[in-house]
Amino acid sequence: MPVTIEADNIIRGFGTGDLRTIAVRGVSITLEAGQMTLLMGPSGSGKSTLLAILSGLLHPDEGRVSALDADIWKMSDYQREAFRRRYCGFIFQGYNLFPALTAQQQLEIVLQWGGNVPKKQAASMALQTLASLDLRDKAHLRPAELSGGEKQRVAVARALVKEPSLVFADEPTSALDWEHGRQVVDLLHEAAHKRDATILVVSHDPRLIPLADRVLNLEDGKLWDGDEPTPAI
C-alpha cells in the first residue's frame, strides 16, 4: 500500500532551560493507506505529541513531516488548515459534541462550515455515515440522550463524514468500557480497509493490539516497532 505519511527525525520538547523536557526524540515513521496503526505507550511517553505533529496540529522543533506528498510544516497556517479540512479526521478522548445539536447536526456542521456543502446534501451524507456506524435511529438525539459508546461513535462519524484520507484518534476508547471501546476500534479498522484511509490510533490499552494492522511502541519519546522487544527504561 502507498505510504501516506512519512516523518523523518522528529524532535519536540516543552519548556526552556533546566525545565525543558523532550517529549519526542528523533522519531522517524511511515504510515500507509488502508492500515490502522496503533501507537502504544505509557502515559507521558510522547504519543499524543507525536500524533499532534503528524496531523499538523503541533509544530515540531526539528524534523520533517510529509503527508500525501506535501511537507505540512512548510505550509502556511492557512494552507495547513485547508489541508486538514480536506484530508484529515480527528477523534479525541472526550466526545466533545455540541450539547444543543442532534447527532445528525454534529456531522452536518462539519460539512456545511468546512465544505460549504448544501443543507440537503449535508443531511443526506450525515445520515449515510451515521447509518454505516449503526446510528441511523439515533440521528435525532442530542448527546445527553446518547450512551457513552453512542457518543463516541457519533464522534467517529463526525471524523469520517467528509471521507478523510487520514484519521487521527487520540485515546478514543479511554472513556468507554471494553465492549464499546472494541466497537469503536472495529469501526476505525473497517474505515481503513473499506475506504483505504490511513488511521493512526494512540492508546495505552494493550487489548487493542490484536485489532490493529500494525503496532508501534513509543517510550520516553523513542519509537520501537511492535515486532521488536520493548527496551527496559
List all residues 6 or more positions away from 43 whose beta carbon is below 8 Å from its beta carbon.
204
150 or 171, CB closer to other proteins?
A: 171
Site for other proteins in 90-109 (CB under 8 A): 90, 92-94, 96-101, 105, 109
Residue 188 contacts other proteins per CB under 8 A = no
Residue 142 contacts other proteins per CB under 8 A = yes
Residue 124 contacts other proteins per CB under 8 A = no
Residue 219 contacts other proteins per CB under 8 A = no
82 or 209, CB closer to other proteins?
A: 82
CB 94 within 8 Å of CB 72 = no
Residue 170 contacts other proteins per CB under 8 A = yes
Find the shortest distance in angstroms from Cβ 174 to other proteins: 8
62 or 232, CB closer to other proteins?
A: 62
Q: Specify burial of residue 133 (Cβ count, 10 A radius: 0-12, 13-18, 19+).
A: buried
CA distance 105 to 154: 10
CA distance 139 to 132: 12
CB pairs under 8 A, 24+ apart, for 83-89?
83/56, 84/55, 84/56, 85/114, 85/115, 87/164, 87/165, 87/166, 88/55, 88/56, 88/164, 88/165, 88/166, 88/167, 88/168, 89/158, 89/159, 89/160, 89/162, 89/164, 89/166, 89/167, 89/168
Binding map of other proteins across residues 22-51, x = CB under 8 A, - = no contact: --------------------------xx-x
Residue 118 contacts other proteins per CB under 8 A = no
116 or 227, CB closer to other proteins?
A: 116
Number of residues in contact with other proteins under rule CB under 8 A: 36
CB 231 within 8 Å of CB 223 = no
Find the shortest distance in angstroms from Cβ 157 to other proteins: 13
Q: Which helix or strand (DSSP H or E) is residue 152 part of?
A: helix 148-160
CA distance 140 to 229: 48
Residue 88 contacts other proteins per CB under 8 A = yes
Find the shortest distance in angstroms from Cβ 140 to other proteins: 13
Residue 123 contacts other proteins per CB under 8 A = no
Residues forming contacts to other proteins in the complex (CB under 8 A) are: 48-49, 51-52, 55, 57-58, 81-86, 88-90, 92-94, 96-101, 105, 109-110, 113-114, 142, 158-159, 162, 170-171
